[in-house]
Amino acid sequence: MKILLNNIDLNEALFDKSNIGFVPTMGSLHDGHISLIKKSLKLSNKTIVSIFVNPKQFNNNDDYKKYPRNVKKDLRVLKSLKVDFVYLPGVKDIYKSVNKIKIKLKKQDKILCAQYRKGHFEGVIEVMTHLTKIINPSKIFMGEKDFQQLLLVKRYIEKNFKSKIISCKTIRDRNKLALSSRNILLKKNDLSKAGKIAKHLIIFKKRLLNKKNLKNLIFMKKNELKKKYDIKIDYLELRNTKNLRLTNKIKNAKIFVAYYINKVRLIDNY
């Protein structure tokens, strides 16, 4: 496994490679990331994983500072998986480019996390544009856990580059909680509460199958969860999986949720 610390290392390592699989991450790797990496190793000639905590996608500096970082452990994990390359750029490697990019979301895209985290997806699309340009991968592996991110990045990157975005299923722990680097920030009680909320919503979604007036049921569920688990909910909404429009039909729809437990923001979809 080669560790690439800057763009010169990167260009040298990749210039003669083809069918490159790319897994972008912010590190603190867990089984969710590992599932993406394993898929890339299977489908690509060479796999490159990036670890970069992207300051531009944090709308809150405190959140950026507190974001879990475990590079040493991550490198051990990546080595054991036999990943070909790890890219650990500095902020300058990504943003020193003379070709400045200005990303603007459309009005209809300012929903879900885009509504609550101003500038977040603009930052994600910007970093993905820089990374795709330098790495030029055939495939980029991304998780459905961050469904809105997956759709926005897919739309933008596939329009502007030849790389294809490959979506990967959400990996959950035994309590059905979606794995996330932020879960490390939760205390034991809160972790178990988050698992209960995930189970609760998985069962709720199943029960919606033969129900009418789903909008109202979801509205009531939001209030119930707030009280029952003492959480602050940014959104709990049923949306179409193709265009993310609000819907009252369960077919081709997912429940999207973002909530805070003790200042830790968790998102999921079912």
Binding site for ligand AMP (CB under 6 A): 25-26, 32-33, 35-36, 142-143, 145-146, 168, 170-171, 178-181
List all residues 6 or more positions away from 40 whose beta carbon is below 8 Å from its beta carbon. 21, 22, 23, 47, 139, 141
Active site residue 33: yes
Least distance in angstroms from the C-beta of 83 to ligand AMP? 14
How many angstroms separate the first and last alpha carbons of the chain?
A: 36
Least distance in angstroms from the C-beta of 235 to ligand AMP? 18
Based on CB atoms, which residue is closest to ligand AMP, 231 or 266?
266
Least distance in angstroms from the C-beta of 152 to ligand AMP? 12
For residue 245, give the amino acid letter. Answer: R
- DSSP, res 178: B
Least distance in angstroms from the C-beta of 16 to ligand AMP? 27
In angstroms and rounded to an integer, the radius of gyration of the C-alpha atoms of the chain is 19
Catalytic member of 30, 33, 120, 130: 33
Which residues make beta-bridge pairs with 240?
253
Cα 49 to the center of its chain, rounded Å: 14
Angstrom distance (rounded) from CA 140 to CA 132 = 9
Based on CB atoms, which residue is closest to ligand AMP, 53 or 238?
53
158-175 burial string, b = 16+ CB within 10 Å, else e? eeebebebbebebbbbee
Based on CB atoms, which residue is closest to ligand AMP, 145 or 176?
145
Based on CB atoms, which residue is closest to ligand AMP, 42 or 251?
42
Question: What are the residue numbers of the active site?
Answer: 33
